[in-house]
Structure 1
Amino acid sequence: MSRSHSARSRSTRTALAGAAGLSGAALLLVSGCTPTTGASPVSDAASASGPAEAAAAQADTSAQGLQSAYQQTVKAVLPSVVQITTSQDLGSGVVYDSKGDIVTNAHVVGDAKNFQVSLATGGKPLAATLVSSFPANDLAVVRLSSPPKSLKPASFADTSKVGVGELVLAMGNPLGLSSSVTEGIVSATGRTVSEGESGGGTGATIPDMVQTSAAINPGNSGGALVSLDNQVIGIPTLAATDPQLGSGAAPGIGFAIPSSTVKRIADQIIEHGKVTDSGRAALGVTVRGVVGENFQPAGVAIVTEEKNGAAAKAGLKAGDVITRVGNTQITTVQSLSEALAALRPGDKTKVTYTRGTSTKTAEVTLGSL
């Protein structure tokens, strides 16, 4: 699997899943019904009917407990998930605060400045305007013009505590089917995923994403990936596709921007009207891909460099072709984005580049995206 499509309604775009990092031990959150007093139903069944019947009673009790946990989570969180409609498309969003701020994906808002927001609790669509968009992390905040008093902000989790194997629910508006819920698990954490620009995508490379088996479909973008603790652990953004299947989805492989990243970006947008500290490393250059004599990708050429940017301070300039960052070979713009996504502002790294017929190496102190 190497391709993904966005969860935006009626549009698809490309994504590449990079190296995985698994964090934490696997957790299975299964709520059971255990009486606090008296004999348990399982022990009663065991004494009356034997081990087989006791096992069946245990399974039935666990299933009822899990179903109850799902229903309680849906009841608690779904009212915080909204549908965002532009003149051309629709997606999902999550109520961030009682002032009417709603967080969503940048590719959901696109170039639009005004939106119609439909609450899961019903009623007429509400007018909203764009606060700011940050395409580098595919996040945006829109604000309701007249937020109702009944508005229910979601609770966002500390993503560092999310474990592989944790049961989750994806909530959103897939294919325009409002307030839909799917279920799955956290399949992996720490994924680096690059999305394409076709179909309105931002072309961003996003680190630390949460991979899930919960179904993510067009229209889910900007919605909520929710734990059974009733907390949002991520914003669903991409669903994988298998190149061998053409445009068909690869079942059970979706990606969500972790809630810790969502909170960091959204808080800055709400406070400052823009992102002031992305936490993302940058060279301070604009680039384009180049090919070698065999017409295969051979590096990334600097088109312009920011004055006093990280690359310029290290002596790189327009026309130089970057071929390696640290120990990572750079052949395409995407590979450069992925290499930088693994680093942080202030990190020092060696950048290998060619200038004319000469190969050079510079130590670069990375700036902020």
Structure 2
Amino acid sequence: MDATPTRSRVRRSPLPLAAGACAIALAVGCAGPGPAPSAAPAQQAVVSRTTGDLEEQYQTVIKDVLPSVVQIGAGDALGSGIVYDDKGHIVTNAHVVGREKTFDVSVATGEKVLKASLVSSYPEQDLAVIKLDSVPGGLRAARFGTTDEVEVGQIVLAMGSPLGLSSSVTQGIVSAVGRTVSEGRSGGGTGATLADMVQTSAAINPGNSGGALVNLDSEIIGIPTLAATDSEQGGSAAPGIGFAIPVSMVRTVADQIIRSGKVTDSGRAALDIMGRTVVDDDYRPAGVAIVSVEEDGAAAEAGLRVGDVIVRIGDTPVTTITSLSEALAGEKPGRKIRVTYTRGDSRKTAEVTLGEI
């Protein structure tokens, strides 16, 4: 399966809801004739108590966090957001706000629609901050956790407005951490390559973008941003594969935007070039040709120039713009890396001190 991440914003439209549900039966084989023996009373009590404790924990988390998750109307699109502080700042995805400057915000408590304005958008990390024009009494800011405490197997809840259904909650686990995924530009996407993403099995659907991925301590650990699609199935959703921007990056970007009105320190490495994918004689992607070089930038300082074709970063092959972005996503500004490239018929290497996006 070729799982291609796609954005999870939804266009405003009437939502048809099908009546009824589909039940899934699990068949269990028995060794020997007659009915299977029932669990002992003590075992049943333990199972019942454990299930009840987890259910109660879920309900507590939902009551704690859901009032801090909002629905955002941006033109003809809908997405989600998280109340960042008591001053009315709301953090969301850049692809949720798109090119809009003003927004309709609905809170989970069902109060009237509130107006908000854009503070700043940072498409390179697919994050944005908007601010309520008037802060209502009782607005509850979310509590944010730390990325270091996110572990594979951890139970999480995703909260937002999938398909326009506000205040919806799904549950799953952290499936993986440290994923690097790339977002397309079609349909309002940012084209960003996002590193250190949290992969989750909690359902992420259109409209969940910008919402909350929450642990059982009622802490935000990420912002659901992408859901995978299966290209072999015509681009249909790949169930149970969603990605969230880690809370450390959310806080880094949001704090800078709130403080300075823009991102002043991205922490993202760059070669300071513009490039395009080139193909070989068999029309297969074969590298990234440099189209322009920023004067005094990282590549220029290392002697790279227009027309060079980058084929490797360190030990990582580079065949497309996306693979180049993914190779750089795990690096830091100021770090020295080896870049392999071709110039005419010659293959060369250069040591490049990385710049910053």
**TM-superposed deviation, 1:247:** 2.3
In the TM superposition, what whole-angstrom CA distance separates every residue of 1:216-263 from its partner, at most 9, and x where no partner exists?
000000000000100000000011111222121111111000111100
Give SS of 1:203's match.
Answer: coil
Structure 1: how far apart are the matches of 2:296 and 2:326? 23
Equivalent residue, structure 1, for 2:7: 6
Structure 2: how far apart are the matches of 1:189 and 1:350? 26
1:172 partner amino acid: G
Please state if 1:278 is matched with 2:279.
no
Equivalent residue, structure 1, for 2:130: 142
Please state if 1:100 is matched with 2:101.
no
Structure 1: how far apart are the matches of 2:209 and 2:200? 14
Structure 2: how far apart are the matches of 1:181 and 1:73? 11
**TM-superposed deviation, 1:151:** 1.0
Change (3 A) 1:324 1:157: same
Q: Root-mean-square deviation (CA), in Å?
A: 1.3
2:8 partner amino acid: A
Q: List aligned pairs for 1:312-351, cutoff 5 A.
A: 312-351=300-339
Equivalent residue, structure 2, for 1:47: none
Q: List aligned pairs for 1:14-163, cutoff 5 A.
A: 52-163=40-151
Structure 1: how far apart are the matches of 2:212 and 2:73? 17
1:239 to 217, 222, 227: 227
1:262 partner amino acid: V
Structure 2: how far apart are the matches of 1:71 and 1:312? 56
Structure 2: how far apart are the matches of 1:7 and 1:55? 42
Please state if 1:304 is matched with 2:305.
no
TM norm structure 2: 0.90
For structure 1, which runs of at least 5 residues remain unmatched after alignment? Answer: 12-49
Equivalent residue, structure 1, for 2:177: 189
2:125 partner amino acid: N
Give SS of 2:10's match.
Answer: coil
Given that 2:272 and 2:293 are in contact with CA atoms closer than 8 Å, whether structure 1 keeps it comes out as: yes
In the TM superposition, what whole-angstrom CA distance separates every residue of 1:28-71 from its partner, at most 9, and x where no partner exists?
xxxxxxxxxxxxxxxxxxxxxx9811010001001111110000
TM norm structure 1: 0.88
Given that 2:11 and 2:76 are in contact with CA atoms closer than 8 Å, whether structure 1 keeps it comes out as: no
2:147 partner amino acid: T
Structure 1: how far apart are the matches of 2:323 and 2:221? 27
1:85 partner amino acid: G
Q: List aligned pairs for 1:258-277, cutoff 5 A.
A: 258-277=246-265
**TM-superposed deviation, 1:356:** 2.3
Give SS of 2:41's match.
Answer: helix
**Aligned residues between the structures:** 331
Structure 2: how far apart are the matches of 1:51 and 1:342? 50
**TM-superposed deviation, 1:294:** 1.7
2:242 to 239, 249, 254: 254
Please state if 1:210 is matched with 2:198.
yes
